[in-house]
Chains A and B, each alone.
Chain A
């Protein structure tokens, strides 16, 4: 079974790649070959992803998201891609040969680093297959796709009506893969997106002047950042926003006059996809794009001594092209919100007065927020705040002072550092209490390029031998520790490959036993009330039938009058409901019975006494 899942996922990845490459050819008017193969490869994959997600979204709105339709579309793309993209695939072989040659030239220690990096990345692949969806994925990110895969229609989960106004990029791929290969394939797909994000970061690093060692360092910094790696395995969608964001940064760095309008169009498309995939990207990536774009246009103008007026005209035209493509990539999302909510610009702007925006979030008190602001960048690397869920690699923090050592700073490196600093500063000002690297991951990862460059520069100097030793030792220890953290999964994977365990027995979380109890005892006449957000493990037909209560105060009588006969209370988040019910005994005519109880969940049945 696991082989089939892996096969289907790889096939689906190839379909995304084919679609993206075809579109790249169209957008660049057949001139895409002027960029490196890796750029074409990753941009193609990500562009295909963005377009396909939007296509699934529209199909979901039309209630046509059915297995035959999905299969016809992906098989058609696969056939067209195979027929038209043969010349592209012939260019891959020399590129891989070049990479292998570069690896062969490395010294032993860097070969060891490269091997450990590969092992770590493979561990994350295994984790994405084996680990069960957790946290927010159990609550929303994999629940919406599960409902969509079952019904063929895009409909928000009952307890996340407003929240479903967010962009749904990763979720659409999850839904498609759930239809054709099951939920494990959905999570595995995130790993491929993470690889694309890693390669985009590496290519940005190459632009900034990173050589072979620097490229290995930047990947080590990335894959030891739990703010990135946690989301490869848990079923959330933050990696999608990061990958699109990095692609937008790459293409805006390429917006030079000699490159034509292709980089402008691709910047717009990827920026739009990044904004939709993660709204927080709007705040931090837009200023970065504006900065680099103006910088590049100004440099071009100075080179040929153009007038200020010409500079302004060029800037307006370039911005117009980027804006147009951002709008194009956002059309399906706007359509979704217009159809479901009657508010295309939700949650930012509402045409109806009763619309409520949930994006103005404050996570902590003023005092804690002040402390967080005072402890940047420490908080990003070592912070353990609730909802932070992951840090930047400690190596990024440790290599920070190396950027002050004397080195050759290319314009691109300066641009990268500038936009990373601007993005971070804007985030700190606009959302001071939201400390969570995943919200602005693409921008934060740019610091990795700068720090990797700093350490590579140190390695090339004929002094500071102790520092080199310390840096290399730290990388080695942190890589080994990261691999050790995932090692248990590898052992499970070996058992899985040899058929000693079933994948279904692994994909179970802490809430699974209680929800499975509901699955087994469910009858169509049941009305289930769930106090708590984590519902992923319910059968899809039960998920569809759950109705939320319309009041905040919950009593036994109220629940019975609303027609509920099974009450599920998830104690982590809704212990107060249990206390309320215990403190307000049921009326004499109502019989309540605890039918299930474990560490996380209590389930009651309620019936009228005969």
Chain B
């Protein structure tokens, strides 16, 4: 049986880690990194096509117009 405390801690850490990764990934498309950090543009160009299928229209518009 799953312990409630353990499950909650695990879930919170899971969300933190996933959120960190997504922020890192999405930020790479939103800002122009001054030192070439974050995700290289070529990789983002490829994944953007897949991301476009997932993101809601408003987000997509924002991402595409600011990138």
Contacts and interface: CB of A to CB of B under 8 A. Distances in A.
Interface of A: 226, 230, 381-382, 384, 386, 388-391, 394, 397-402, 405, 463-464, 466-467, 470-471, 474, 477-478, 481, 484-485
Contact of A390 (B14, B23, B37): B37
Given A226-B37, A384-B33, A401-B16, A394 B21 contact: yes
B9 A230 contact: no
Contact of A389 (B18, B23, B24, B34): B34
Interface in B25-41: 27, 31, 33-37, 39-40
28 contacts: A226-B35, A230-B37, A384-B33, A386-B34, A389-B35, A390-B35, A391-B37, A398-B20, A398-B21, A399-B17, A401-B12, A401-B13, A402-B13, A405-B13, A463-B10, A464-B10, A466-B14, A467-B13, A467-B14, A467-B17, A470-B14, A470-B18, A471-B17, A477-B21, A481-B39, A481-B43, A484-B40, A484-B42
A402 B13 CA distance: 7
Contacts of A464: 10, 13
A131 to B, nearest CB: 10
A467 to B, nearest CB: 6
A523 B65 CA distance: 49
B37 A484 contact: no
A388 B37 CA distance: 12
Contact of A463 (B6, B33, B37, B40): B6
A229 B9 CA distance: 33
Nearest to B44: A481
Q: Is the interface of B mostly helix, strand, loop or mixed?
A: helix
B37 A474 contact: no
Contacts of A477: 21
Contacts of B39: 481
B43 to A, nearest CB: 6
Given A230-B37, A390-B35, A466 B10 contact: yes
Contacts of A394: 20-21, 23-24
A400 B20 CA distance: 10
Given A382-B23, A384-B33, A390-B37, A484 B43 contact: yes
Contacts of A478: 24
Contacts of A386: 34
A18 B41 CA distance: 44
A134 to B, nearest CB: 9
Nearest to B3: A463
A276 B11 CA distance: 46
B17 A470 contact: yes
Contacts of B21: 394, 398, 474, 477
Contacts of B16: 398, 400-401
A324 to B, nearest CB: 39
Interface centre among B6, B21, B24, B31 (most CB of A within 10 A): B24
A405 B35 CA distance: 34
Interface string B35-55: 111011011000000000000
Given A401-B16, A405-B9, A464-B13, 6 more contacts: A226-B37, A384-B33, A394-B21, A397-B20, A401-B12, A470-B18
Interface residues of B, number: 24
A200 B13 CA distance: 30
A388 B27 CA distance: 16
B39 to A, nearest CB: 5
Given A398-B17, A467-B10, A474-B21, A384 B40 contact: no
B19 to A, nearest CB: 9
A390 B24 CA distance: 13
Contacts of A388: 34
B31 to A, nearest CB: 5
Nearest to B33: A384
A391 B35 CA distance: 10
Nearest to B12: A401
A382 B22 CA distance: 11
A389 B33 CA distance: 9
Contacts of B34: 384, 386, 388-389
Contacts of B23: 382, 394
A249 B18 CA distance: 33
A388 B24 CA distance: 16
A386 B21 CA distance: 23
Given A401-B16, A464-B10, A382 B37 contact: no
A474 B42 CA distance: 19
B27 A382 contact: yes
Nearest to A477: B21
Nearest to B15: A401
A471 to B, nearest CB: 7
Contacts of B42: 484
The 10 closest A-B pairs by CB, nearest first: A226-B37, A398-B20, A394-B24, A485-B40, A398-B17, A401-B13, A384-B31, A230-B35, A470-B17, A397-B20
B33 A382 contact: no
A390 B39 CA distance: 13
A465 to B, nearest CB: 9
A187 to B, nearest CB: 16
B64 to A, nearest CB: 19
A443 B26 CA distance: 28
A454 to B, nearest CB: 10
Contact of A481 (B6, B31, B40): B40
Contacts of B6: 463
B43 A474 contact: no
